[in-house]
Amino acid sequence: MITDIQVDDHGRHRHFLTTEGLSAKAIGEILDTAESFISVGEREIKKVPLLRGKTIVNLFFEASTRTRTTFEIAGKRLSADIININTSVSATQKGESLLDTVRNLEAMHTDLFVVRHPVSGAADLIARSVPNHVHVVNAGDGRHAHPTQGLLDMFTIRRYKGGFANLKVAIVGDVLHSRVARSQIHALTALGTGEVRVIGPRSLLPFAVESLGAKSYTTMAEGLAGVDVIIMLRLQFERMSGALIPSAHEYFSLYGLTPERLALADPEAIVMHPGPMNRGLEIASEVADGPQSVILPQVTFGIAVRMAILARLAGAAGTETKSP
């Protein structure tokens, strides 16, 4: 189990690899800490000294804009030294193994690795190989998990909707290949969300998704009825084997979020998207840019949530957040 190495013998988080197994209390503590960091981004000097002297390596083996940049900003706002590794020119391209790359970087006195990798379980493998004083954050591994995205989505929902108990949340699109969706579902169920729905064609819904605590729907008319939160997902063509949808045009005609389909939800429903967003494929521009969209605030909140996770791993959560 991955969760067996996330927490040490004293109940402190050593790594952050998945939302699976996290308690409502642990999630709430991270979200509360993130709230305290929101104001940092609004200051003239956007710095706190919590991780001064620490070295964080962003080790991304997949392309990323939002996740890598927000992790970089989060680390810098905590006053850490940030190293971004360009894996396209790293030694792994010359045949060096993943663990040998990590060990060499670890020998340079790295304190924390933020890892994105196309293979599920890569972050777990690294976490099991590093010494006790080194921490690992999973920034997305294959189809398995993207826990920091899952928690920033929880932060966004809590910001706009308060509690979770009375909410109906719909996750729409390519749930089968989405590591984000898995992290969202685990977090939503842990927080006691009233109802979690997944919507998509059968070819893009996981087998036995109900075992995760979600109800599945194959039509937008049924799935969006009365929901409070709509989370749209992109089609992950890079992880598909074979043609799982007839065409992009037909997919949008059946599952794209248009103003007409948004009207099926609660009038105060919010629209979310973890990005990257494909307009005209899973979401209409009128919705993406409309008054119910909170897609850009998600990005902003992601910095504070990632600051909270980095600070928690370094043992600094809950300490003073004033400027030095």
Q: What CATH number is given to the structural domain containing 120?
A: 3.40.50.1370
Give 13's strand partners: 7
Confidence (pLDDT) at 320? 42
Looking at the fold, whether 224 and 128 belong to one and the same domain comes out as no
- Average per-residue pLDDT in the chain? 90
Query: Cβ(153)–Cβ(274) under 8 Å?
Result: yes
Q: Angle 66-77/147-161 helices, nearest 10 degrees?
A: 80
Looking at the fold, whether 23 and 114 belong to one and the same domain comes out as yes
Confirm whether 213 is domain-assigned. yes
Confirm whether 48 is domain-assigned. yes
* % of the chain exceeding 70 in pLDDT: 89
Going by pLDDT thresholds of 50, 70 and 90, the confidence category of residue 93 is: low
Model pTM score: 0.92
The residue count for the chain: 324
Confidence (pLDDT) at 92? 61
Query: Cβ(143)–Cβ(175) under 8 Å?
Result: no
Looking at the fold, whether 141 and 229 belong to one and the same domain comes out as no
Judged on CB neighbours under 10 Å (0-12, 13-18, 19+), 81 is: middle
Looking at the fold, whether 236 and 141 belong to one and the same domain comes out as no
SS3 content of the chain, % helix, strand, coil (to 5): 40, 15, 40
Confirm whether 170 is domain-assigned. yes
Number of folded domains that form the chain:
2
Residue 259 domain boundaries: 147-294
